Structure 1
Amino acid sequence: MRIRTEGVSAYAHWAAAAEGKLIGIAMLGRQSAIEAIVANLNKGEPVILDRIPLDNLGKRAYVQSTARLGGYVFSVIVPSAGIQMQKAKKTGEKPESQSGKTAVLWHESAGSVLWRKIFDTTTVPLLDSWQDYVIAKLRDEVALNRIRIAMGLRPEYGKRIVDANMHGDHDGWCGALVDIREHDMEAIVLYGLKNREITA
């Protein structure tokens, strides 16, 4: 698998992509090629993974870790902490709809990074025992909108957690785009407690 940008390419060991955006990648190539690809990524340039065009998370949206292997460089590119992709504003949209998606990339050995991201993003008190329930509701747009309606809120379309497609030999790496909205979290927790799907 190859990654290409602006006439430079390198071998991609694995890559994570969601909604047409590159979330992270592990690359192997000559130092000059890796440096050029990273520079183009940090300028906000799109890339091509094999034949798949992928957009960038934004300017200076990635951080890099590198190791030398003989005459080559192995580089892992992950999203910078706190990078948020803002949605375009539409006339008449309420403030809740203006939240942005955050890219998260982690190795499964690091535990539940996704849950920690949700926990840190909301002011709604959460218990760790609710993790599976809350994440399942955030991943299921239909179930979430049923909960919103039951709790007196209008439905809002769009997935709150979009799991990344992992390409190549990803060795336990996982990724997602996360869009946590405060009213969703309140509705999920109150609905779960009210219907005894979770307990305090």
Structure 2
Amino acid sequence: MAKQMDYKTIREIFRRFHEAEPEPKGELNHVNAYTLVVAVALSAQATDAGVNKATAKLFEIADSPEKMLALGLDGLTEHIKTIGLFRQKAKNVIRLSQILVDEYGGEVPNSRAALQGLPGVGRKTANVVLNMWWRYPAQAVDTHIFRVGNRTGIAVGKDVNAVERAIEDNVPVDYALHAHHWLILHGRYICVARKPKCGACLIRDLCQFEEKTL
């Protein structure tokens, strides 16, 4: 595990990320806060591309909790059967849709605690929704961000919660909103798990990873 980087180095890293991509975007397709919650819940242990393929037609007919409930469990299951763990995910989506109708007037709540009270929505999912829809600088740490944070020294921690805190504590506030997306995209396309593409890396000279590839 690398040592936690100093402020000056982290600031330069995010300056470069910002220069290369000022407005990084999440890759899950959605049309409103509800479809974002559903898409993120479906993305657990699945690829964004796979989720987008499954939800393309689903969100055309069920873009609200009321419409999802009208579609029903069997109808939803048919749409998402190409996604891993689809049966349990379908049950969660129907249950969370019912809760949104019964307790929140069909609207998606914008507090982390309320979001985490929905079936199939954990802290990471809640943080993604808070960040992407309400533009709150929440840091959703997945396997990519955990790897990049520890490998580079940007955000060092033994578990995802520790890495989340390290990002919040060490990333300059003016870069915090997009930090999640810059790090996840960097981990997804450059700082990959088995053979990182160090030759194409914007921050190679600042990264602490000792086993850099050519």
Q: Same fold (TM over 0.5)?
A: no
Normalized per residue, the structure richer in strand is 1
Normalized per residue, the structure richer in helix is 2
Superposition TM-score, scaled by structure 1 size: 0.34
Superposition TM-score, scaled by structure 2 size: 0.33
